[in-house]
Chains A and B, each alone.
Chain A
Amino acid sequence: MNVTAENVTKEYIRPGRGTNRFAAVNGVSLTLEGGSLCAVMGRSGSGKTTLLNILSGLLSPTSGKVFLDGRDIYSLDDKTLSRLRCESFGVVPQGQSAVRTLTVEENILLPFMLYKEKGGREYALELMKRLGIAELASVKPSELSGGELRRMSIARAVIRRPGVIFADEPTGDLDDENTALVFDFLKQLAGEGSAVMVVSHENDALKYADRVMKMSAGNFEIMKGA
Chain B
Amino acid sequence: MRSIVLKNLKGRPVRTAVLVMIAAFLSFAVFGGTLVTASLGRGIDSLEERLGADVMAVPKEATQKKRFEDIILQGSTGYFYMDIAKLDEISQLEGVGQISAQLYLASTSSSCCSIPVQIIGFDPETDFTVTPWIKRSCGNELGQRDIVVGNDLNAFVGDKLSFYGVECRVAAKLDKTGTSYDTTVFTNTATIKELIRSSLERGMNDFSDIDPDRVVSCLLIDAADGYTPEEIMNDINLHVKRVKAYQSKSMITGIASSLSGVSGMIRTLIGAVWLLGIVIMLLAFTMSVNERKKEFAVLRITGASRKMLSGLVMKEALAVGAAGGVAGCLLGMLVLIPFGDLIEQKLSLPYLFPGWGYVLVCFACTLAVSVISGVASSAVSSLRMSRIDTGIIMRGDS
Contact = CB atoms under 8 A, between A and B. Distances in A.
Closest 5 CB pairs of A and B: A86-B303, A101-B11, A95-B397, A82-B305, A53-B391
Contacts of A110: 298-299, 302
A113 B4 contact: yes
B44 to A, nearest CB: 52
Interface string A49-83: 11001001011000000000000000000110111
Given A59-B391, A94-B397, A114-B304, A106 B299 contact: no
B126 interface: no
A93 B303 CA distance: 13
Contacts of A156: 302
A4 to B, nearest CB: 20
Interface string B2-44: 1110011011100000000000000000000000000000000
A113 B3 contact: yes
- Chain B CB within 10 Å — which of A56, A93, A110 has the most? A93
B297 interface: yes
B360 interface: no
Contact of B300 (A49, A58, A172): A58
A161 to B, nearest CB: 14
Contacts of A95: 394-398
Interface in B247-262: none
B390 interface: yes
A111 interface: yes
A113 B312 CA distance: 13
Given A87-B303, A114-B303, A97 B298 contact: yes
A157 B398 CA distance: 19
Contacts of A87: 303
Interface in A80-139: 81-83, 85-87, 91, 93-102, 106, 110-111, 113-116
Interface in B274-307: 294-295, 297-307
Interface in B150-191: none
A33 interface: no
B298 A114 contact: no
Main SS class of interface, B? helix
Given A85-B303, A91-B301, A114-B304, A50 B391 contact: yes
Contacts of A169: 398
B89 interface: no
B394 A93 contact: yes
Interface string B354-398: 000000000000000000000000000000000001110011111
Nearest to B8: A101
B1 interface: yes
A101 B12 contact: yes
A93 B391 CA distance: 9
Nearest to A77: B305
A120 to B, nearest CB: 12
A166 B241 CA distance: 103
B315 to A, nearest CB: 13
24 contacts: A53-B391, A56-B301, A58-B301, A78-B306, A78-B307, A83-B303, A91-B301, A93-B390, A93-B394, A95-B397, A95-B398, A96-B397, A97-B298, A97-B394, A99-B298, A100-B295, A101-B8, A101-B11, A102-B7, A110-B298, A110-B299, A111-B303, A156-B302, A168-B394
Contacts of B294: 97
Contacts of A78: 305-307
Nearest to B309: A82
- Chain A CB within 10 Å — which of B1, B307, B395, B396 has the most? B395
B302 A86 contact: yes
A205 to B, nearest CB: 16
B388 to A, nearest CB: 10
A50 B390 CA distance: 11
A101 B307 contact: no
B330 interface: no
Given A53-B391, A59-B391, A93 B11 contact: no
A93 B10 contact: no
A84 B389 CA distance: 18
A49 B395 contact: yes
A86 B7 CA distance: 21
A140 to B, nearest CB: 8
B89 to A, nearest CB: 84
Interface string A5-25: 000000000000000000000
Contacts of A116: 1-2
B138 interface: no
Contacts of A98: 295, 298
Nearest to B305: A82
A81 B304 CA distance: 10
Contact of A93 (B301, B307, B389): B301
A195 to B, nearest CB: 17
B115 interface: no
B273 interface: no
